[in-house]
């Protein structure tokens, strides 16, 4: 006979908290348990100026206020991040393993947007994933000359933390403009 009961996780622990670096760069979104651990151990501090929500977490001997945004107090400045090498695997990863002209996901090759014979280099800004059919029909022409459009302009991959920061500020721009 078992006496254990299935307790569901308290609702407050299901929320996410945004973590900022020491330089106030948003770097991650963590669950409430991780945020509490960072606050209790002194590795993070609350940020009050962001105007976010605050949750009260009841502990046996005290009540801990956990804000929606916290800032790390430890660690060095942001680590240097090297742009990955320009190769087939990384270009396909950046382009989500789909043709940048028609969206197909099979028989992918690499296409130089500006053909190499015309001075186009082997760079992040000039390489895209393309299916064999689109690559062959484009031939030794630019997309404009071939009457084709790119799904998105090629660019070098972004550091995951920078991508998160960019998305964070895009999401919060409306709130900042209001205040």
- Give Cα separations from 102 to 69, 88, 154 (angstroms): 41, 19, 15
Domain-wise residue ranges, the chain: 13-78, 88-146
Residues of the chain with pLDDT under 70: 1-9, 49-51, 76-81, 161-162, 172-179
36-83 tens-digit pLDDT: 999 999 999 998 755 678 888 887 888 888 888 999 998 765 566 677
pLDDT of residue 76: 62
Residues 6+ apart with CB under 8 A from 136: none
pLDDT of residue 177: 57
Class of domain 88-146 (CATH, top level): mainly alpha
pLDDT of residue 59: 78
Using CB atoms within 10 Å of the CB of residue 14, give its burial: 0 to 12 exposed, 13 to 18 middle, 19+ buried. exposed
pLDDT of residue 136: 96
Residues 6+ apart with CB under 8 A from 86: 122, 123, 124, 127
pLDDT of residue 134: 96
pLDDT of residue 50: 58
């Amino acid at each position: 006979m078992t006496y254990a009961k299935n307790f569901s996780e308290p609702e407050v622990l299901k929320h996410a908290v945004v973590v900022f670096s020491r330089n106030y760069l948003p770097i991650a979104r963590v669950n409430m348990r991780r945020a509490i651990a960072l606050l209790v151990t002194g590795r993070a501090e609350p940020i009050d100026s962001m105007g976010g929500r605050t949750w009260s977490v009841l502990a046996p001997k005290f009540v801990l206020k956990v804000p929606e945004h916290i800032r790390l107090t430890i660690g060095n400045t942001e680590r240097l991040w090297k742009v990955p090498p320009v190769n087939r695997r990384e270009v396909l990863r950046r382009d989500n393993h789909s043709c940048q002209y028609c969206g197909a996901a099979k028989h992918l090759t690499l296409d130089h947007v500006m053909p190499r014979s015309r001075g186009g280099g082997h760079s992040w800004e000039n390489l895209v994933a393309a299916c064999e059919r689109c690559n062959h029909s484009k031939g030794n022409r630019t997309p404009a000359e071939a009457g084709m459009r790119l799904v998105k302009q090629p660019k070098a991959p972004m550091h995951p933390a920078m991508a998160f920061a960019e998305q964070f500020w895009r999401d919060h721009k409306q709130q900042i403009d209001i205040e």
